[in-house]
């Protein structure tokens, strides 16, 4: 098996690469190394998996010619490279579009034009559903909850992008789906919730669970935007990797489909009213935080209904939120020099 991973030196990419390399596949990591500490993830992969099994190509998905050169010859392409922050997309929507929409188009065209087109599996986002202002929200003592979706949001929820980031990822999401319908390319789209785990160098705008864990361990400041009762479903990285691999294993029956992939209703946390006490217990000291105004488009609740993935991919999360956050904190503590 010959696998290509765009954004392969990122948090998700390097964990996915490690999984395939461990099972004997050859992996091409495609990354422009523009994001902080991706070079550290790449070095970690190279230390763990030397020799011919791992290949690194420094390239940008905005470069169509580079994609046409690199992608052919692989059995599957996991397209993870992206601009990942809503705030960044608002500041520079052109770059956001060029990376997320045009970059995905370049990857799809390179795959389509290959002599033997590879499978394309794409990392989309729950942000394609927008603010979901019409969805009933119930405020409880320590968290918000859906009034009408006890199992979370299904894939047939109307798309309402609500930000440049949502627009660019949403356009890419639909291009990937339609390349299966129009050209027969084998593709799968994952609309992902909050993913967390080791080798995630989270910052305030992206990777909030890791950002909070790093700040708590190192004594750095934390700002909570809103009241801290916003709820998210949380998926540990090992469970996401299993979902990615399951999609490839089932590609003949699931090509062209879209899946919400997250922790689901069984793995949720309020971002501070519940996460804060758990984190304080794990680091064994109180954590002081500052509060700021709600950020535009911040959903009081987002929980994925993952029942479709359970039915069709034979997949469901195995790592609980409590266990996953414990593993994340232990990794930060053991690798504090990286930060």
Structure tokens at 57: 């190509």
Number of domains comprising the chain: 1
Distance spanning both ends of the chain, measured CA to CA: 35
Per-residue pLDDT tens digits of the chain, which is 339 residues long: 999 999 999 999 999 999 999 999 999 999 999 998 999 999 999 999 978 899 999 999 999 999 999 999 999 999 999 998 888 999 999 999 999 999 999 999 999 999 999 999 999 999 999 888 899 999 999 999 999 999 999 999 999 988 899 999 999 999 999 999 999 999 999 999 999 999 999 988 789 999 999 999 999 999 999 999 999 999 999 999 999 999 999 999 999 999 999 999 999 999 999 999 999 999 999 999 999 999 877 889 999 999 999 999 999 999 999 999 999 999 999 999 998
pLDDT score of 121: 98
- CB contact at 8 A, 302 and 231: yes
pLDDT score of 38: 95
Q: Could you count the other beta carbons within 10 Å of the beta carbon of residue 205? A: 13
pTM of the model: 0.96
- CB contact at 8 A, 233 and 267: yes
Helix 321-334 / helix 208-218 crossing angle, nearest 10 deg: 50
Instruction: Report the half-sphere exposure of 339 (CA within 13 A, side-chain side).
Output: 23
Q: Could you count the other beta carbons within 10 Å of the beta carbon of residue 14? A: 28
pLDDT score of 171: 97
- CB contact at 8 A, 154 and 87: no
- Cα gap 331→246, rounded to integer Å: 26
The predicted-structure confidence for 135-188, as pLDDT tens digits, reads as follows: 999 999 999 999 999 999 999 999 998 889 999 999 999 999 999 999 999 999
Cα distances from 162 to residues 128, 166, 249, in angstroms, run: 8, 6, 34
pLDDT score of 131: 83
Where residue 49 sits, what CATH number does that domain have?
Answer: 3.40.50.720
DSSP code, position 203: B
- Cα gap 86→169, rounded to integer Å: 11
Plot region of 197 (φ>0 → left; ψ -120 to 50 → alpha; else → beta): left
E strand residue ranges, 197-317: 223-225, 231-236, 257-261, 268-270, 290-292, 301-302
Phi, psi of 139, rounded to the nearest 5 degrees: -90, 125
Domain enclosing residue 181, as ranges: 2-338
- Cα gap 6→28, rounded to integer Å: 8
Residues with catalytic function:
165
């Amino acid at each position: 098996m010959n696998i290509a991973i765009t954004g392969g030196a990122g948090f998700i990419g390097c964990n996915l690469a490690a999984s395939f390399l461990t099972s004997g596949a050859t992996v091409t990591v495609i990354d422009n190394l523009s994001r902080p500490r991706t070079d550290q993830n790449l070095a970690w992969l190279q230390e763990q998996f030397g020799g011919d099994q791992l290949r690194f190509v420094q390239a940008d998905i905005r470069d169509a010619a580079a994609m046409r050169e690199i992608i052919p010859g692989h059995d599957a392409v996991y397209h993870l490279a992206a601009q990942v922050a809503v705030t960044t997309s608002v500041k520079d929507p052109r770059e956001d579009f060029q990376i997320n929409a045009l970059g995905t188009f370049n990857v799809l065209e390179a795959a389509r034009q290959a002599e033997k087109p590879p499978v394309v599996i794409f990392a989309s986002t729950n942000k394609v559903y927008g603010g979901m202002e019409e969805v009933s929200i119930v405020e409880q003592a320590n968290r918000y909850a859906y009034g009408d979706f006890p199992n979370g949001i299904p894939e047939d929820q109307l798309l309402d992008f609500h930000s440049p980031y949502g627009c660019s990822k949403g356009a890419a999401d639909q291009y990937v789906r339609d390349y299966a319908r129009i050209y027969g390319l084998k593709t799968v789209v994952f609309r992902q919730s909050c993913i967390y785990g080791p080798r995630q160098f989270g910052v305030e705008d992206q990777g909030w669970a890791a950002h909070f864990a790093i700040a708590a361990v190192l004594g750095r400041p934390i700002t909570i935007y809103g009241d801290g009762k916003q709820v998210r479903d949380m998926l540990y990285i090992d469970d996401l990797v299993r979902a990615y691999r399951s999609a490839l294993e089932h590609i003949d029956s699931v090509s062209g489909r879209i899946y919400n992939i997250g922790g689901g209703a069984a793995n949720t946390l309020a971002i501070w009213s519940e996460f804060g006490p758990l984190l304080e217990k794990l680091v064994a000291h109180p954590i002081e935080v500052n509060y700021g105004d709600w950020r535009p488009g911040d959903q009081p609740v987002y929980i994925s209904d993952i029942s479709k993935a359970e039915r069709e991919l034979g997949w469901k999360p195995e790592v609980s939120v409590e266990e996953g956050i414990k593993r994340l904190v232990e990794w930060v503590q053991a690798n504090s020099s990286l930060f």
